[in-house]
Each structure stands twice: as structure tokens, then as C-alpha cells.
Homo-oligomer: A and B are copies of this chain.
């Protein structure tokens, strides 16, 4: 029946009046009674509804709340896994389908918002409730949650910026198959790297074309010079001194921005994560975000910052919950618990930190190089969506 595109659809051509509505609600056909796939089978509920084994019960002391503990954790891990497998990376490679890319990244932010709110459910469990079955969990530990580590790696949390775990490399906590999965995932391109490559391709960066960077540097230098002249003409006063001091700071900042060596230095310290060219592309998208060509790219940059923010909020909510549950005790896996988690709520775990720091480089609109759209055309590949559009390509699905 796959040839029939309307199988299973029955329409009402007009909206019923209020009075007809009740009848309208009864006009369907019970197709299910004619055989075919059933809802519970489709969703494989037999598997997922029977995958909760309480350790407290195994050990002869069934504790009610362990069920909640397992179920909320399973839910989160299914979701993390889903994001890794299908929601994230490879699409950014493909310049054409930006709407899809932005939609997917936006979806991930929605999922993360839900995960952040989900703590409210587990927090209905008090420290005393948790104490009742906590010993049965040992030595399993949330640190071992492979899916979250994979997600971090996939987004681009840097290996060398991670907080060590009991003085050891984070990967040492995983063994056998899991350890290999982690290692091989670290070889794959991260979201950060794909975004970087894409930003480097931003049209308008070409030295022999619009030459955004060169023009911007010239404009800013000119602007700062004019400011300085203006300030120097002021009568001497405390205000004048303050303003001059600030202007000097600004000048330093922009001098540093246009110095490629300075960028390399910050990269080596982990304080920047994007290549110099990608940083230029990101700033360009910010300045010209109203241009049709840059509207959706700008939305993407915004969504990437949101992912970073939400991951960090998730971490912080996690810390708060753990503090309630175990005070400053050690975790079930022997970690320092609260203190370890607290240390991971750090900018070192922010992947798109450069996008946040762009705010440091904003300038008055009049300093932004003017664009003549009839001369500077920014091409992109307009095309009818191809048939493979919505499928998971082999690389993002497997």
C-alpha cells in the first residue's frame, strides 16, 4: 500500500459549528480493529516498561523510590543518546540545508530545557528517601554515564580542559567496549570543528573580495583615532582622565584582536577555541545579521550559545540536586561528589566561548564596513530540496 499517499487519512472539509462538534468527534472508522501494527508494539513498550530492576529489591529490601531514580535516569540517557545519534553534527557540513540545521539545534535546546526542568521530579525525593537505597548503588556512579561523556565529546568539550576525576584522566574511568567507544568518538569531527569549518567559509572574508577583516580594522583604527582627538580637546578633569583611560583599554583590546599571534596564544591557553578565520566569520555574521544571506547563520550562532548555556545550567542544576541529596558526602562511585561536580561548572567546559566573547568586540554601527549588495553578492546554493532530505544519511544514523 506504500503507493497510496493518503492511506490512513480521512478529512473534514469544513470545520463544524460548536453544536455539531460532539458528533464530529465520532465520525472516524475503527481501523485498528481490522488488524495491522498496534501502538504498544510500535513503541516496543514491552522492552522499555520492563527494564527497571531495583537493586534494593534484588537485595531483599525493595525501596519504592529507587524506581523513580531509575526511570528518571533512563529517560535522560535515552535523550542524550538520541541527541548524539541523530540530532547533532553532520548536517553542519552541508551548507545548503541551513533551515534544517537551525531547526535541529533549536530542538536540542528544547530538549535540554526539558532536562533542566526534569530535576524538579527527582527533587521530590528527599535526602532521607535516597539514603534508604543509596548503598545498593555502589560502586556504580553517575560519572560512568557514557552517553553524557559522548555528548560532551561530540559537541567539543576539550579533552585537556576537563576537570580530572580523582586525579586521573576522565577516560580512565571507562573500560573495555565503553573506553573504545569514547576514544573513537573523540576521533570524529566535533560540532565545534564543523562549525569552525563552516565559519571559515563565510563569504566576504576573502582578502581579494569584500575583505571584511581588512576593512573592519581600518574603520576601527580610524574611529578610535577620532575619539581620541575629541577627548583630548576636552578640558582637563577627572571625567576626561577616566574616558581617556577607557579609550586606551579599548585600543588595546582591538590591537590585540587584529594580532594573529595574540589569537594563537589564547588558543594555546584554551581561552579561545575557534580558528582566527572562523572568529572573523562569526563577527561578520554578527555585524551583517540583517542581510538575508546571514539571517539564518546568525540564528545558528545564537542557538549554539544556547546549547552551551543550557549544558552549563544542566550541570549546575545537577550540582544543586546532589548537594540536597548527599550534602558534601562522597559519591557512590567514590568521587568527591559535590565538590567534583561543582568544579565542572566552569567556563572550561564551554565550547562556544568565542561566540560569547564576541560581545567584547562590538562597535558603533557607523564603524561597520558598508556593504553594497549589488556589488557584493554572497552566493549560496538555492535548490529544490532533494529526495534524501529528511532521511538520516548513513553518517548521522548508522
Indicate if the CB atoms of B256 and A140 lie closer than 8 Å: no
Interface string of A1-38 (1 = CB under 8 A from B): 11111111111111111100110111111111111111
Q: Is residue A183 contacting chain B, with contact meaning CB distance below 8 A?
A: no
A253 lies within 8 A of chain B by Cβ: yes
Partner of A49 from the list B45, B81, B103, B317 (CB cut-off 8 Å) is B81
Complex partner residue of A43 from B12, B77, B246, CB under 8 angstroms = B77
Q: For window 40-68 of chain A, which residues contact chain B by CB distance below 8 Å?
A: 40-45, 47-53, 55, 59, 61-65, 67-68
17 of the cross-chain contacts (CB-CB < 8 Å) are A8-B330, A11-B250, A12-B339, A21-B339, A25-B336, A27-B166, A29-B330, A30-B165, A30-B334, A32-B141, A32-B143, A47-B50, A48-B51, A74-B78, A126-B302, A292-B293, A370-B384
Interface residues of A in 360-378 (CB under 8 A from B): 360, 362-365, 367, 370-373
Q: Name, among A13, A21, A73, the residue most crowded by chain B CB atoms within 10 Å (CB to CB).
A: A13
Contact B371 A384 (CB under 8 A): yes
B332 touches A356 (CB 8 A): no
In whole Å, how far is A267's beta carbon from the nearest beta carbon of chain B? 12
Render A250-275 as a binary contact track against B, CB cut-off 8 A, 1 for contact: 10110010000000001001010000
Q: Smallest distance from the beta carbon of A322 to chain B beta carbons, Å?
A: 10
- The reply to whether B137 and A42 contact each other, CB–CB distance below 8 Å, is yes
Tell yes or no: A182 within 8 A of B by CB: no
For chain A, residues 229 to 248, give those with C-beta under 8 angstroms from any C-beta of chain B. Answer: 230-231, 238, 242-243, 246-247
**In the complex, A356 Cα to B18 Cα: how many Å?**
18
> Are B26 and A292 in contact (CB-based, < 8 A)?
no
A180 CB, min distance to chain B CBs, angstroms:
14
- Evaluate contact between B64 and A173: CB separation under 8 angstroms: no
Indicate whether A202 reaches chain B with its CB closer than 8 angstroms. Answer: no
Residues in B whose Cβ lies below 8 Å from that of A126: 302
Is chain A's interface secondary structure helix, strand, loop, or mixed overall? helix
Choose from B64, B326, B335, B345 the contact partner of A359 (Cβ within 8 Å).
Answer: B326
Interface size for A (C-beta < 8 A) is 199
Contact A362 B28 (CB under 8 A): no
A392 → B minimal CB distance (Å) = 5
Question: B78 to A75, Cβ gap below 8 A?
Answer: yes
A10 touches B334 (CB 8 A): yes
Contact A120-B128, Cβ < 8 Å, known A51-B47, A359-B324: no
**A144 / chain B contacts, CB cutoff of 8 Å:** 32, 38-40
- Which residues of chain B are within 8 angstroms of A134 by Cβ–Cβ distance? 8-9
How distant is the Cα of A357 from the Cα of B338 in the complex, in angstroms?
11
Q: Is A158 an interface residue (CB 8 A)?
A: no
Cβ of B31 and Cβ of A138 under 8 Å apart?
Answer: yes
Q: Given contact pairs A13-B252, A323-B356, enumerate 8 new A-B contacts (beta carbons under 8 Å).
A: A5-B367, A7-B135, A16-B339, A25-B336, A28-B165, A42-B70, A99-B295, A326-B359
Q: Judging by beta carbons under 8 Å apart, are A28 and B166 in contact?
A: yes
